[in-house]
Structure 1
């Protein structure tokens, strides 16, 4: 027979816990003549049995039910399901901690954070030691700070010799320029890349052009192209971020951003760039949009991952009007504009895939090419010509 303190020591529970167990009927001591209770070996065994059941995730109430009657399979099945869910959550927690220590990949985590907190995500990446250029590239391209350097080295190798970094054509640049309803003396081009559109704008206007990109080699190629076209005197380059522009308010008649506003998020870009336009100034952007309200599951899944802000043309137009713009024109890029980007890219990928078989960057590009071949038409690029409201 055991006194309550001896029973507590025997089973590793506190005296208060044992008093509670007795209160709810899990153990039953025998009161002695002196008023103290004594407990038997059966009570010890009963408590060990309870501890084993609790180790399976059962509550005290469920343990009592198991001890008093036949174990209900549904109860155990429900508890097993909850335990599996808890294990899955803890496994995700472990994977995240391991990845943050450099022992795994962080892709899914970066994608999740960027979807729910994009601005905070960018700030956090910069605080981890990435400059803004690489933080943006990590956000949109590598999506894993542990493998970012290798990913970007491979990505750069693919795109280095390609002039186009997104869908477009000279004809459609001219088509958009023709819709600008004002006399243009100053142009700010954001995300200019290697300057294909820059040269077209310079050759077909008399404006002074400020071309902005965060890739210095691209700007060097832009100026080479400008010299070849004889327009270099009207072009100034600025290597920096489109998210932090050093220009005075109302400095430009026209802001041009082909396939680059997505980096900031299109609604945010429209709002932030607006104050750089003069009254009645014009913003021209091209952006990826849904062409259907019911895309196939595979293409929906791909773009939800690669471009979480993807919406329809109608929604973009509503966002533009809400931001204080008047819609001058909106048109879809032609299939030829897509071919101008994807055909050279596919040739480049085929040239490199044997020697870059293990490259995550190359695999991601190949996945995008497959989506392009199989689903173009369910999505597309749309050009928006927007005029700043006179009321602003």
Structure 2
């Protein structure tokens, strides 16, 4: 796939993955209810994309958000939006790898990541981020997971090709515990979180780009692949979904590498 075309297809969409401001706020409320977040917390948004979550976190907490991503246009978009919303002094967009964020240990009260940790592996990411947390630090993260023990063959074949490390929501809880966290709470994103601000606008964009790039084989590959994902969710979206997990850094224990569930990433 031509990833430059993929990013062009997605540029400027309301969201770059399933979610909503209401669901981000719901997870933030759960984190705040633990009593572990200080006033104006130090926050890392790992894999921030164009920064929809980072903006909400800065507004709602009064804290400072370090927002990291490897795609510079996303960071530029976030910087522009932060400036327009009067938040430029509290959001720091930075081109960095979320597998190895360039911050000293104990830098953050809260690490946030929506729709991004899959790119480095769920357990691997949690383990890499744990040292960056303060002793009472929290992580709020979404991960795609199977919601049934018997997924349809079509869905299984698709995700085995696209994300072979995808496992069940319960296995992800065990991965989090193995990486040195306590699971505070979790919830599954509802079906509308996939459609209202993600798949519906993306599907309209696909139709527009088919007309604009008719006869272009490289564009056809990108558009067909995105449409297949949308069609799959339309047929089998009840068998998998994103789960929001709110985690607390364990005070004791020696996190073990959770290889048992992530062998496919080696």
TM-score when normalising by structure 1: 0.60
Correspondence 1:367-378 to 2 at 5 A: 367-378=228-239
Which of 347, 352, 371 is equivalent to 2:209?
352
Higher relative contact order (CA 8 A, sep 6+): 2
Alignment pair present for 1:385 and 2:242: no
Distance in structure 2 (CA, Å) of the matches to 1:334 and 1:228: 31
From the two aligned structures, give the one with the greater strand fraction.
2
Distance change >3 Å, CA 294–CA 222, structure 1 → 2? same
Q: Does 1:172 align with 2:23?
A: yes
1: CA distance between counterparts of 2:139 and 2:153? 33
Which of 308, 313, 317 is matched with 2:173 structurally?
317
Distance 1:241 1:189 in 2: 12
Structure 2 counterpart SS, 1:238: strand
Kept in 2, the 8 Å contact 1:286–1:381? The answer is yes
- Give the match for residue 343 of structure 1: 200
The answer to whether the Cα contact below 8 Å between 1:356 and 1:362 also exists between their aligned partners in 2 is no
Secondary structure of the 1:387 match is strand
- For the 8 Å contact 2:145–2:169, the answer to whether it is kept is yes
Secondary structure of 2:201 counterpart: helix
SS of alignment partner, residue 204 of structure 1? helix
**Could you tell me which of 198, 214, 221 is aligned with 2:77?**
221
What secondary structure is seen at the aligned counterpart in 2 of 1:173? Answer: helix
Counterparts of 2:214 and 2:11, CA distance in 1? 15
Tell me how far apart the structure 2 counterparts of residues 273 and 366 of structure 1 sit (CA, whole Å): 33
Contact kept, 8 Å, 2:46 with 2:113, in 1: the verdict is yes
Q: 1-side partners of 2:99 and 2:171: how far apart?
A: 23
| Structure 1 SS opposite 2:187 | strand
Structure having the higher helix fraction is 1
Shift of 1:190: 0.6
Match of 1:28 in 2: none
Q: How far does residue 241 in structure 1 lie from its aligned partner after superposition? A: 1.2
- Structure 2 residue matching 1:198: 3-state secondary structure: helix
Equivalences for 1:1-392 in 2 at 5 Å? 142=1, 151-180=2-31, 181=34, 182-184=36-38, 185-339=41-195, 340-354=197-211, 355-357=213-215, 358=217, 359-391=220-252
User: Who wins on radius of gyration, i.e. which is larger?
Assistant: 1
Q: How much does 1:390 deviate?
A: 1.3
What per-residue deviation string (whole Å, max 9, x for no partner) do you get for residues 329-379 of structure 1? 100112221112111000000111232452211111111011111111100
Structure 2 residues not aligned, in runs of 5+: 254-266
User: C-alpha separation between the residues in 2 aligned to 1:321 and 1:156?
Assistant: 34
Stretches of structure 1 that go unaligned for 5 or more consecutive residues are: 1-141, 143-150
- Normalising by structure 2, report the TM-score: 0.88
Q: Give yes or no for contact 1:154–1:362 (8 Å, CA) kept in 2.
A: no
1:129-169 Cα shifts (integer Å, max 9, x gaps): xxxxxxxxxxxxx3xxxxxxxx1232122112313111110
- C-alpha RMSD of the superposition: 1.2
